[in-house]
Amino acid sequence: MVDAALAILREEGAAALTARAVAERAGTAVGTVYLLFGSLEALKLEANAVTMRLLRNHLTDELAAGRSDEPADRLICLADAYLVFARANHHAWAAIFDRRTIEPPPAIAADIAALFAIIDGVLAAIEGLDPDAIPVVSKALWSSVHGMVYLGELGGLGPVGRDDVPAMVETLVRAAVRGLRVGSN
């Protein structure tokens, strides 16, 4: 069922994810979706967790292939990898950010934490950055980069186009790292 839901998310997006569509693709009855997962949203969380793990693996692989130990370069590497993933997996990526009404189970919450741990690890290399500030800085940087990618991919803010995103991200990341270094001195 998770594979069926993920296939629907990848091909058609979250709007196409219905219990009937999942059941048809999985070759089972609609009631089985609710019997096994309790709700369509719980099933969607499980499918989104697969996408998050793929994203995490992609980010980790790209970071490992990077040629620099400089935190700004490594953060830009992560941002570029994020953009590539979003473009290659547009519907499934966008589905991760749909509003949810249930809390993720502990395993999925751990997947989310593992994504941020990648950024936290890069930030930890910024000399003088207070370790207690890293979680907030990580979330702020990710939210900013995600916002640019999201707007660029959806074309939702007039002058922000897909081609503008890489330069915008690089400008933001380099400025943030400079500011973090100055602020820690």
Number of domains in the chain: 1
Digit-coded pLDDT (tens) for 41-66: 999 999 999 999 999 999 999 999 98
Task: Quote the pLDDT of residue 67.
Answer: 85
Joined together, the tokens standing for residue 5 give 């839901």
Task: Quote the pLDDT of residue 128.
Answer: 86
In a domain, 132, yes or no: yes
Task: Quote the pLDDT of residue 53.
Answer: 95
The rounded mean pLDDT for the chain is 92
Residue 13 and residue 18: Cα distance in Å, rounded?
A: 11
Task: Quote the pLDDT of residue 181.
Answer: 83
Q: What's the mean pLDDT in 124-129? A: 92
Cα within 13 Å of Cα(59), Cβ side: 24
In a domain, 39, yes or no: no
Torsion 178-64-125-106 (CA) sign = positive
Q: Is the pTM of this model over 0.85?
A: yes
Query: Residues 6 or more apart from 4 whose CB is under 8 A from it?
Result: 22, 25, 26
In a domain, 168, yes or no: yes
Does the pLDDT at position 185 exceed 60?
Answer: no
Query: Residues 6 or more apart from 184 whose CB is under 8 A from it?
Result: 126, 127, 128, 129, 130
In a domain, 53, yes or no: yes
Joined together, the tokens standing for residue 41 give 């949203």
Q: What's the mean pLDDT in 130-159? A: 88
Identify the band that residue 176 occupies on the pLDDT scale cut at 50, 70 and 90. Answer: very high
For residues 142-161, b (16+ Cβ closer than 10 Å) or e, as one string?
Answer: bebbeebbbbbbeeeeeebe
The CATH number of the domain holding residue 100 is 1.10.357.10
**Token match 């993933």: residue?**
85
In a domain, 3, yes or no: no
In a domain, 8, yes or no: no
Look up the domain containing 84 and give its range. Answer: 46-184
Task: Quote the pLDDT of residue 73.
Answer: 95
In a domain, 76, yes or no: yes
Identify the band that residue 121 occupies on the pLDDT scale cut at 50, 70 and 90. Answer: very high
Question: Over pLDDT 90: what percentage of the chain?
Answer: 78
Q: What's the mean pLDDT in 70-89? A: 95
Cα within 13 Å of Cα(5), Cβ side: 23
Task: Quote the pLDDT of residue 152.
Answer: 87
In a domain, 13, yes or no: no
Q: What's the mean pLDDT in 34-39? A: 96
